[in-house]
């Protein structure tokens, strides 16, 4: 199994959520994973937007990621 950076960011974000702390770090990792997924799979990038909204619906990282969909 090849582990890619997007998958690594996803796993680390999930770990931060399970710890119930460092939620900002989870948002940053989901943002990074979403940016990497934009190259190959827009659907998965949208899943990260939803994951970020579930943590903090007002995070500026959500808008930053959405802007990358249509630059």
Which tokens in the block code for residue 29? Answer: 């990792």
Give the separation between CA 2 and CA 21, rounded to whole angstroms: 29
Give the separation between CA 38 and CA 5, rounded to whole angstroms: 13
- Written as tens digits, the pLDDT of the chain (71 aa) is 455 788 888 889 989 999 988 999 999 999 999 998 888 888 888 989 999 999 999 999 999 999 988 76
Domain that holds residue 39: 5-69
pLDDT in the model for residue 1? 46
- Single pTM value for the model: 0.87
pLDDT in the model for residue 2? 52
- Tell me the CA distances in angstroms from 56 to 25, 39, 51, one per residue in order: 12, 25, 9
pLDDT in the model for residue 62? 94
């Amino acid at each position: 199994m090849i582990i890619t950076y997007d998958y690594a960011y996803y796993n680390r974000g999930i770990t931060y959520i399970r710890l119930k702390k460092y939620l900002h770090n989870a948002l940053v990792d989901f943002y990074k994973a979403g940016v990497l997924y934009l190259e190959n799979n827009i659907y998965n990038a949208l899943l990260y937007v939803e994951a970020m909204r579930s943590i903090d619906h007002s995070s500026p990282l959500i808008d930053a990621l959405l802007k990358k969909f249509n630059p």
